[in-house]
């Protein structure tokens, strides 16, 4: 059997990047709870203190018989999942392209050159790439498109996101995707009209075409995103709150199963396609 394509009814073999990270542990826990998965390989960055230890035991999930490696190994995998860092994800994707294994990517913060490398690899393998794997958030993006088509320039649009104090990128990938969804629906160029916070002082009136993005960092907030449409005499607020990382992990595994279906074509796919929303 070729790598990346499991036979119907067989457990899928999962290769897991960043296996000791917050999302790596959540994905592994969700896979073990759901059933229908086996861990083919797991790895962490070079120098990680848990290298060589059983990946399941290191995650507090019991012995799985797979040692935590320091580099990607996709030789026995049907699909890979990567929620790590841009540089680490690129290494995973390079190994996956060589092994013809599809990849679910939850990493955010790629620069234009890194995105170009992902697109080049996607000519060889299928990928799902999303800033948020929550079913609820993906449904919210769909709803926001409709609201923006109706409200147009009559309502001011602001996005507020909050995450834990460990999060490295700002605004969050989910907030940026939200802004992109709104910009397309409103017919605006996001690089022109995005406003990342606002400076202190007298800044003048707000341009109705602005799309505001505001970042909060603190404590152990998993992820809160609020979209405000402020119009004449009323306002609409749409909020998504993540209470745990389990919903992201379940969505990533849903995307992984979708990728592993026979006949999936190379390219970068979004979560909306996985959920049948486009």
Q: Which of 25, 163, 240, 269 is catalytic?
A: 163
The residues that bridge with 215 in the sheet, in sequence order, are: 161
Residue 142 annotated among the catalytic residues of the structure: no
Residue 243 annotated among the catalytic residues of the structure: no
Catalytic residues: 163, 167
């Amino acid at each position: 059997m070729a790598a990346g394509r499991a036979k119907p009814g067989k457990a899928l073999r999962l290769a897991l990047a960043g296996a000791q990270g917050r999302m790596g542990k959540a994905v592994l826990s969700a896979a073990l709870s759901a059933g229908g998965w086996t861990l083919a390989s797991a790895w962490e960055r070079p120098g990680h203190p848990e290298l060589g230890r059983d990946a399941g035991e290191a995650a507090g999930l019991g012995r799985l018989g797979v040692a935590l490696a320091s580099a990607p190994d996709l030789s026995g995998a049907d699909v890979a999942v990567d929620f790590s860092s841009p540089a680490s994800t690129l290494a995973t994707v390079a190994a996956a392209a060589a092994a013809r294994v599809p990849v679910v990517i939850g990493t955010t913060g790629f620069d234009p050159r890194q995105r170009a490398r992902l697109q080049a690899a996607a000519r060889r393998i299928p990928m799902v790439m999303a800033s948020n794997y929550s079913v609820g958030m993906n449904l919210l993006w769909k709803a926001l498109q409709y609201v923006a088509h109706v409200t147009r320039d009559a309502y001011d649009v602001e996005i507020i996101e909050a995450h834990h104090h460990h999060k490295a990128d700002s605004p969050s990938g989910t907030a940026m995707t939200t802004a992109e969804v709104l910009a397309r629906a409103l017919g605006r160029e996001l690089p022109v009209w995005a406003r990342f916070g606002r400076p202190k002082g007298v800044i003048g009136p707000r341009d109705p075409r602005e799309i505001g993005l505001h970042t909060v960092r603190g404590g152990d907030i998993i992820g809160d995103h609020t979209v405000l449409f402020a119009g004449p005499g009323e306002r609409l607020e749409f909020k998504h709150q993540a209470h745990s990382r389990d919903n992201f992990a379940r969505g990533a595994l849903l995307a992984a199963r979708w990728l592993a279906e026979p006949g999936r074509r190379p390219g970068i796919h979004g979560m909306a396609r996985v959920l049948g929303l486009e």
